[in-house]
Amino acid sequence: MAATGGRGGVLALGVLGALVLALLVSWGYARLQPKDAMRVSGPARRVVRVQVLNGSGEGGVGARVASALREGGFHVVEVSNADRPDYFATMVVARTADVSAADAVARYLGGLPVLRQAWTSDHAEVTVVIGGDRSRLRTGL
């Protein structure tokens, strides 16, 4: 009976090792994917113009998020403070009727909620409002 328990332990250890290896490969793929993958696809692939507003109350967060977005292939057109410093949650706002650009930004930053507030503007297609939950952003910084 002791020999059977030993084989089961080795088998369980092998399965656990395979699981850890699969998680590492998945993490590596997500972190090392090509930067072009964050561009919006479609008939005319384009770089997404993003406005970053810091509503977290902590200085420098907007600049760090903007830097991460630039590294991801997005075109940051403005970084400034939000209308108030006490936003609870970070959000991505789609400024056009087509939310695909906002979805790409939200995915890049770690799966943020997307709101649609369409308005006519040549300035930015997407606005990121950084809130108090800024530590959950996947910025790589």
Cα end-to-end span (Å), the chain: 52
* Pair (45, 26) in one structural domain: no
pLDDT of 5 reads 59
Does 62 map to a domain?
yes
Provide block-wise average pLDDT over 10 residues at a time, the chain (141 residues).
66 86 75 51 67 92 92 93 92 90 91 82 86 75 45
* Pair (61, 121) in one structural domain: yes
* CATH number, domain with residue 50: 3.30.70.2390
Does 141 map to a domain?
no
Name the domain count of the chain.
Answer: 2
Q: What range defines the domain where residue 49 resides?
A: 39-136
* Pair (27, 47) in one structural domain: no
Global model pTM greater than 0.75: no
* Pair (28, 44) in one structural domain: no
* Pair (62, 15) in one structural domain: no
* C-alpha to C-alpha distance for 127 and 137, rounded to whole angstroms: 15
Those residues with Cβ within 8 angstroms of residue 86's Cβ, 6 or more apart along the chain or in another chain: 55, 57, 132
pLDDT of 37 reads 43
Q: What are phi and psi of 107, to 5 degrees?
A: -65, -45
SS3 of 94, please?
strand
Nearest to 47 by CA among 90, 79, 67, 77: 77
